[in-house]
Amino acid sequence: GAVVSQHPSRVICKSGTSVKIECRSLDFQATTMFWYRQFPKQSLMLMATSNEGSKATYEQGVEKDKFLINHASLTLSTLTVTSAHPEDSSFYICSARNRDRGQENYGYTFGSGTRLTVV
């Protein structure tokens, strides 16, 4: 089945540094990647939507200069948290839309998530 490989699974970084999270679709072409963030005991909140070769569309309240998204190919999307601060500590999850699966119930595959802790 469709697999999205997300790395790293866990990262601890110092305040002020940048962290890059990668999501790779292993056996399908991901035309669209959705990036979510989940705080403890909260639901998944959409941060941004990126289409291959285009600029990402950010949700209201999400700083595009802080959360840099690159979707340069159909198999790789990255999220870079720049100048990270403790309040950015969260669980980040990518979700890819499979171009080859047009059925409504099959279109999305989730990565395994990245636990970011900023100290």
Partner 1 sequence: QKEVEQNSGPLSVPEGAIASLNCTYSDRVSQSFFWYRQYSGKSPELIMSIYSNGDKEDGRFTAQLNKASQYVSLLIRDSQPSDSATYLCAARNSGNTPLVFGKGTRLSVIA
Please identify, using beta-carbon distances, which residue of 18 and 52 lies nearer to partner 1. Answer: 52
Please identify, using beta-carbon distances, which residue of 16 and 26 lies nearer to partner 1. Answer: 26
- Contacts of residue 23, defined as CB under 8 A and 6 or more positions apart, other chains included, come to 4, 5, 6, 30, 33, 76, 77, 78, 79, 94, 96, 111
Closest approach of Cβ 48 to partner 1, in Å?
A: 9
Alpha-carbon distance of 40 to 1, in angstroms, equals 29
Alpha-carbon distance of 71 to 77, in angstroms, equals 4
Please identify, using beta-carbon distances, which residue of 10 and 18 lies nearer to partner 1. Answer: 10
Closest approach of Cβ 83 to partner 1, in Å?
A: 26
**DSSP assignment, residue 96?**
E
Nearest-CA neighbor of 25 among 76, 101, 72, 69?
Answer: 76
Please identify, using beta-carbon distances, which residue of 19 and 111 lies nearer to partner 1. Answer: 111
Closest approach of Cβ 5 to partner 1, in Å?
A: 12
Binding interface with partner 1 (CB under 8 A): 6, 31-32, 34, 36, 42-46, 49, 51, 91, 93, 95, 97, 104-106, 108, 110-113, 115
